[in-house]
Amino acid sequence: MYSDIIEKLKDKKICILGFGREGVSTYKFIRRHLSDKFLTIIDKRDIRDSEIIKDDTNIEILYGDNYLDNLDIYDLIIKTPGISFKDIDVSNIKDKITSQLELLLEIYKDNIIGITGTKGKSTTCTLMYKILIDQGYKAYLLGNIGNPIFDDIEKFDNNSYLVIEMSALQLEFVKVSPKIGVVLNLFEDHLDHAGTLEHYHENKMNMFKYQNESDYGIYSLDNENTVNQINKNNYLSKLFKVTLKGSGEDTIYLDGDDVILNNEKLYNKNYERNLIGEHNLSNIMFCLVISKILNLDFNKVIESIKNFMPLEHRIELVGTYNGVTYYNDSISTIPMATINAIETLKNVDTLIFGGMDRGIDYSTLINYLNKSNISNLICMPTTGYKIGKEIEKVNKDKNIYYIELLEDAVKKAKEVTKKGSICLMSPAASSYEYFKNFEEKGKKYKELVKATD
């Protein structure tokens, strides 16, 4: 089926916009099938010395501060998600912008399970992928959590399921939606890219926007922002709801300990599982709905859930050292994710938090920490300092420490955390000021913790 993409590209004047992981993947795909096609590669960085393209004489490379100028001269702009058009008028090129995701959706939407949301995407995608693999299906994990879509596209066939983690950045310009679309939740995030909260949420809801009556959309009734988006849009797909607090037709919900969908018991929340916490039970329930739509064997589904191990950096147990149990939750880059982690673990005595300030509202987290039983708040720049100062104004019972380096934060946690309790690192902010990403921060934290003995 990928031949349809090649057919679309072969006679077009094309630029690859952005030459990171996905841009490189796009370049390699085109060269595998259109080895002589002239291409333009555009990136803010000077990529002329890249090993991948150094011997290619059939390309033009544009770079520098004005790299987004003159995009209108191309027939097709294959954009990577990380390129932001914030504060740029793209009205004259909007119809020319495409991506790996959209090119795949155009030819393969019926085999795609798309999953988005501010939090929980990677866990839900990976669990759904495992469920399909355990049932013997040919499945691929793609997008943010997996490989770039074009890396293995030649292997996809009509019997393949593609589970794709779709970010707001990937969904922003798509004009096709998947057969099965999931919106886990919508919170405040990525305003540095989207510009406004409304635009960020609208980008996410492209998951349902182009679905038709034969498609399926699944969303949370417990997330106010998602419900608001549903209520103001007339989506055509068959919509399923997920809730821990209600019930209804085409709604998966809790009746006591049982998980029910349309009068059928699918699961029990007390079944053995490694995905702890109510937020993870909600993620499981989304996978149960998808499994029902696909008519999967539910005995095997339950077994897959039982054996699934949490992903790294997500309420990840690091170990117990000198009587203190340490958890790494570096993936939590928004306030609600940090609150979920604290609620899940219960016995948190020390919280290490803070990171890059992206203009997110922290009032909910400040109020929560004020009322919590957490004794020690280790505040790191930049947001941690701001939150700590606000808590200091109204709460004199907390031990509040302002620490710049992660090494010193872990050292302080070792000194002050009560034996028999938990030290949790959950930033409630992105890590870009001091670390490349949340993975780097999480790995560093674990190294430091394991060196505390």
Which has more pLDDT, 413 or 188?
A: 413
pLDDT beyond 80 at 233: yes
CB neighbourhood size of 250 (10 A):
12
Residue-level pLDDT at 452: 57
Confidence of residue 189 (pLDDT cuts 50, 70, 90): low
pLDDT beyond 60 at 193: no
Chain centroid to Cα 144, Å, comes to 7
CA distance linking residue 114 with residue 177, whole number of Å:
8
CA distance linking residue 22 with residue 27, whole number of Å:
9
For 113-123, write each residue's pLDDT tens digit. Answer: 999 999 999 99
Residue-level pLDDT at 192: 56
Q: Which two tokens stand for residue 227?
A: 């419900």
pLDDT beyond 60 at 358: yes
Residue-level pLDDT at 146: 80
What's the mean pLDDT in 154-179? 96
CA distance linking residue 453 with residue 440, whole number of Å:
22
376 - beta bridge partners? 350, 399
List, edge to edge, every strand of the sheet that includes 112-116. Answer: 138-143, 160-165, 112-116, 180-183, 216-220, 238-242, 251-255, 258-261, 264-268
For 6-50, write each residue's pLDDT tens digit. Answer: 999 999 999 999 999 999 999 999 999 999 999 999 999 999 999
Handedness of CA 186, 19, 441, 281 (dihedral sign): positive
Residue-level pLDDT at 84: 86
Residues 6+ apart with CB under 8 A from 112: 104, 105, 162, 164, 178, 179, 180
Could you tell me the domains of the chain?
2-98 (3.40.50.720), 101-307 (3.40.1190.10), 316-450 (3.90.190.20)
79 - beta bridge partners? 17
Indicate the pTM of the whole model: 0.90
